[in-house]
Structure formats: C-alpha cells, structure tokens
Amino acid sequence: MIVEKAERVLEEHKLCDHCLGRLFAKLGKGTNEDRGKAIRFVLNMERSIRGLGLIEEPEECELCHNVFEKIPELVEKMKEMSEGIEFETFLVGSRFPEEIKEKEKTIWEDFGIDSAEPINREFNRELGKAFGKTTGKDTSKNPDVVFIVEPFSGKIELQINPVYVYGRYRKLVRGIPQTPLPGFKDSIASIICRAFSKAFDGKCVFKGAGREDVDVRTLGNGRPFIVEVKKPRRRRVDLKKIAKEINESRKVEVLNLRFVSAKEAEEVLTKKHRKEYLALVLVEESVTPDEAKEVEKKLRGLEIHQRTPWRVRKARADKVRVKKVYEAEARWIDEKHFELRLVTDGGLYIKELISGDKGRTKPSVSDLLGKRAWCERLDVLNVLD
C-alpha cells in the first residue's frame, strides 16, 4: 500500500527523501528523511524485479527545493544573531511561501494521502534539533526566545520574550509619586526600574497593584507590584542585588522579589487587596475622646457609598462605588486631632471618607461626628492578601 502509493507519487513528482517520507509522517517512528529513504529503497527493489528503472533522489526536489540543506547555514545565522543574549529555551517558527504549502496540499488530495504532516512542521523540528545540538539549549512551549525563519530568503527574526518579577514596595517618605509626574524628579517606578533595567539590560515597565497619593507613605508589608522587562538581554539575574540597590535609595524599599509567569503577574495586578491605613484626623471645631470613640464604633462594619472623588474626577470614571470598613480604631490626641486606624476594601478613598467630599462620600467621618473633619496625614500600614 505505502510503496504503491509512493510509486504513483514519484512517477509524477520529483521529491527528495524528506518530502517523500513526510507524506507518511504519521506512520511508524524516526525522521521523515529516514522514512523516505526506506520507502525508496524497498520501492526500487520491487521495480528491479519488475525490470523497471530506479527512481533516485532528484538533484533538486520540486516541492521543497532542497530547503533542508539550508539548515546548517541557518543554525550559524541563529547563533550569530543571538550572541550576547542570555537564554535557556527557544522555539523555532518558519514562514514558507504559499505556493509550496498549496502544492503540498494538492499532492495529498491527488493521491488520497492522509498520513502526511505539513512542511513547516518538519522544518521547525529539524532546525530546532540542529540548533539545540550545537548550542546545548532546549526547546520549550514557553520559551525565552523565538526564532522566526524565512528559509528561502534566509531572513530571521528574533523575539526575546519578557521577564516578569513580582515584589512589594514600601514607600518610606512622602512627596514621591508612584509614576513619573511633572515637577517631581523621582518616582517609585523610576527608582525601581533604574535598577532592573541595568541588571536585565532591557526596557522595564512598572505596574503597581493600586497606588497611593504623592503625600501618602506605604509601610508594613508593602504594596505588591510587577516589573515587566521587555527584550531582556540577561535573564539569570540576582534579584537580591537589585533589591539592595533599590533599598539604598532610602526612599523606596522592595521586598519578596521573585520571578513569576505572565499569568501570575496579571493576577497580582487585578486582585483587589484590603488595606490597613493610619490617618491623622483634624477637627477644627474641636473633638473629645468620647466623640472619637463614637466614630470608631460607628465605622466598624459600615458600608460606604463613594462617588468618584472630585479631585480625581478627570482621571476616573464617575460612578458610585460601594466599599466596606472592616476595622476601625480611634486614638484621641488633642482637642483638634485624633488618629484612625482602618482596615477597608481596596479602592476606598480615605481622604474623602473623612471629609465627605461635599456629600459625594456617604456616610463620612464628618457625617458621623456632625463636624467638619479633614485628613491631615495618611499612611498605608499594610496591603493585605
């Protein structure tokens, strides 16, 4: 059956052993080239019994134009272009001209062949094997780099996949924005990215899980963040060294740095974290210790309806968010001040929870007191997971 079919194909088409073997790729083991050689060998024995001429491998294959002979040359090119780039795993993809893919399909249809595999699949595999053999690198479904090869023009594209690092940052001083802002020399993002770019030799993008205002510190266990390093030329980087360099800024401190997948990175950024805050509340009209305790009691377990604050209305969609206060603890300081420690849903604006934002946040600390109250100072004590 196989030999008969092969004979009919070869009487009409001049195919190399790769292309012959690939017609029967799904049968048995071994490479397509070995398979093609074996089929041709048996076929020629039978033909000599029948007194027919041998069908040898042609000078030039009419389907692939001997593209598999280009592999050693392409491997050299791939090595050259990936020099100086650190990677452990790779993948090969290839672009074949439409006419070759069409011609291959026509042969399958004309001769009723359903055991074939497409040419690019064999080519990718063979090129990958050859590259792996000379470099000692492995192929992977989730590779560090991808080579896209145009075998006939010899054009090769090298894609370097990004690296994701998870961490938590503590903002130790007030007066730094999370991301670059006109009028500020530094930002959390620029301090962190500087160290990452240097170590990975790539372009860094910082993404925080939420943000705090310029005048708010973030303490305790810190706020989660992700750094995506695009086109890194180095990957085996000592994260402890990066942390040390960032921490020397004395403005930002990073903890728990570790490599994560793209999926984990996404999860970190979309998850809503509860937060613990410490706010210093100012009551111009004066406040007593009993009043402060009363506010504490009323806040516990309270649901807050918060319309997008006036000050961020241009940057955020105008809507009412319902958020909860889980814990509240008041500490009276003097006739005009008390401290509030709060645990709330992520995304509740604390300054507005205190002031009431002209009725946009209901109820507010001002409502509960029956007096105008302001947030004079705010720290994020912990971002809870």
Choose, by CB under 5 A, the member of 10, 19, 226, 378 that binds Zn ion: 19
Least distance in Å: CB of 264 to Zn ion? Answer: 44
Nearest alpha carbon to residue 377 among 361, 345, 354, 356: 354
The answer to the question of residue 20 lying near Zn ion (CB under 5 A) is no
Which one, 111 or 332, has the nearer CB to Zn ion? 111
| DSSP H/E element including 324 | strand 320-334
**What is d(CA 65, CA 107) in angstroms, rounded to the nearest whole number?**
16
Least distance in Å: CB of 96 to Zn ion? Answer: 12
DSSP 360: T
Least distance in Å: CB of 114 to Zn ion? Answer: 20
Least distance in Å: CB of 59 to Zn ion? Answer: 12
Least distance in Å: CB of 61 to Zn ion? Answer: 3
Q: Which stretch binds Zn ion (CB under 5 A): 29-37, 55-63, 135-143, 160-168?
A: 55-63
Task: List Cβ neighbours of 63 (8 Å cut-off, separation of 6 or more).
Answer: 13, 15, 16, 19, 100, 103, 104, 107, 119
**What is d(CA 352, CA 366) in angstroms, rounded to the nearest whole number?**
10
Which one, 33 or 212, has the nearer CB to Zn ion? 33
Do 104 and 156 touch, CB atoms closer than 8 A?
no
Tokens for 250? 């004395």
Q: Mask: binding to Zn ion, 58-97, rule CB under 5 A, as x and -?
A: ---x-xx---------------------------------
Which one, 14 or 194, has the nearer CB to Zn ion? 14
Q: Which stretch binds Zn ion (CB under 5 A): 13-21, 131-139, 148-156, 173-181?
A: 13-21
Cα–Cα distance list, 252 to 164, 167, 186, 247 (Å): 20, 12, 11, 6
Q: Which stretch binds Zn ion (CB under 5 A): 53-61, 168-176, 191-199, 291-299?
A: 53-61
Q: Which stretch binds Zn ion (CB under 5 A): 19-27, 35-43, 47-55, 150-158?
A: 19-27
CB atoms within 10 A of CB 244: 12
Tokens for 272? 């809503």
Amino acid (one-letter) located at 39: I
Which one, 16 or 237, has the nearer CB to Zn ion? 16
Q: How many residues bind Zn ion (CB under 5 A)?
A: 6
Which one, 20 or 292, has the nearer CB to Zn ion? 20
CB atoms within 10 A of CB 59: 8
Residues marked active site are found at 213
Q: Give me the residues paired with residue 253 across strands.
A: 170
Least distance in Å: CB of 16 to Zn ion? Answer: 4
Choose, by CB under 5 A, the member of 9, 16, 74, 281 that binds Zn ion: 16
Question: In the range 158-217, which residues lie near Zn ion by CB under 5 A?
Answer: none
Cα–Cα distance list, 132 to 96, 139, 162, 303, 350 (Å): 22, 7, 21, 60, 56
Least distance in Å: CB of 144 to Zn ion? Answer: 31
Q: Which stretch binds Zn ion (CB under 5 A): 17-25, 178-186, 266-274, 354-362?
A: 17-25
The answer to the question of residue 6 lying near Zn ion (CB under 5 A) is no
Cα–Cα distance list, 72 to 17, 51, 131, 143, 384 (Å): 18, 39, 9, 22, 55
Which one, 39 or 61, has the nearer CB to Zn ion? 61
Burial group, residue 127, by CB count within 10 angstroms (0-12, 13-18, 19+): buried
DSSP 249: T
Which one, 64 or 246, has the nearer CB to Zn ion? 64
Q: Which positions lie near Zn ion, rule CB under 5 A?
A: 16, 18-19, 61, 63-64
